[in-house]
Amino acid sequence: MDQDIIIRIIELLGTFAFAISGIRHAAAKHFDWFGGYVCGIAVAIGGGTIRDVMLGTTPFWMTTPVYMICTFVALLTVAFFGKWMEPLKNAWFVFDTLGLALFTIAGLQKSLAFGQPFWVAIIMGCITGSAGGVIRDVLLNNEPVIFQREIYAMASVLGGIVYWAGIELGLPIELTAIGSFLLTCLIRFLAVRYHLSLPILKNDENG
């Protein structure tokens, strides 16, 4: 399959997953439909927009209205089916994790397609996967999840490293993408399930 098509499919899936996550957070704050749509858009396109600006290309969502439509479908999904999804409790967390993994891969693939070295692509993958969540949390006046104890952005970085390793080993790009996706999700799920976190900085100025 052509790499551009793969990137487009991954970006659409990531847009829907992240939009669901952002709209759900807006619903928890009792935002109206417009506010929910704005939060969904922010988390769905924020990271990819920063990535594309840094790569010097037109932001992906400006090339077709399909991403706006996808976010609207996510809004309708939460509005009409949210009460059936809510009892699942972990459904929203799953959507956020899927968005992180999918957009990490999209960021990696697009950066490599623009001739960037792998270390830059890994950073771009992390930005694509996590920056939208930062924008969402700022809009909702929440502490950004990447600054909290739970592992989030590091899952994206490790997924990017696995993607790089797969390419170096000459594995098919589809298999490499699947491996990166699964590892990013697995790290995120395990980190939350077992309360894993990075070491905390300590302030010793008070002795």
pLDDT at 164: 93
Give the residue with greater pLDDT, 146 vs 204: 146
The reported pTM is: 0.87
C-alpha 188/C-alpha 145 separation (Å) is 12
For 136-182, the pLDDT digits (tens) are 899 999 888 888 767 889 999 999 999 999 999 999 988 999 999 99
User: What mean pLDDT is predicted for residues 114-126?
Assistant: 95
> Each residue of 84-112: pLDDT tens digit?
766 655 667 888 888 899 899 999 999 99
pLDDT at 148: 75
What pLDDT does residue 85 have?
Answer: 67
Contacts (Cβ under 8 Å, ≥6 apart) of 52: 58, 59, 60, 110
Q: Could you write out the three-class secondary structure of the chain?
A: CCHHHHHHHHHHHHHHHHHHHHHHHHHHCCCCHHHHHHHHHHHHHHHHHHHHHHHCCCCHHHCCCHHHHHHHHHHHHHHHHHHHHHHHCCHHHHHHHHHHHHHHHHHHHHHHHCCCCHHHHHHHHHHHHHHHHHHHHHHCCCCCHHHCCECCHHHHHHHHHHHHHHHHCCCCHHHHHHHHHHHHHHHHHHHHHCCCECCCCCCCCCC
pLDDT in tens, 27-76: 989 999 999 999 999 999 999 999 999 999 999 999 999 999 999 999 99
User: What tokens were used for 82?
Assistant: 């949210």
- The pLDDT of residue 1 is 55
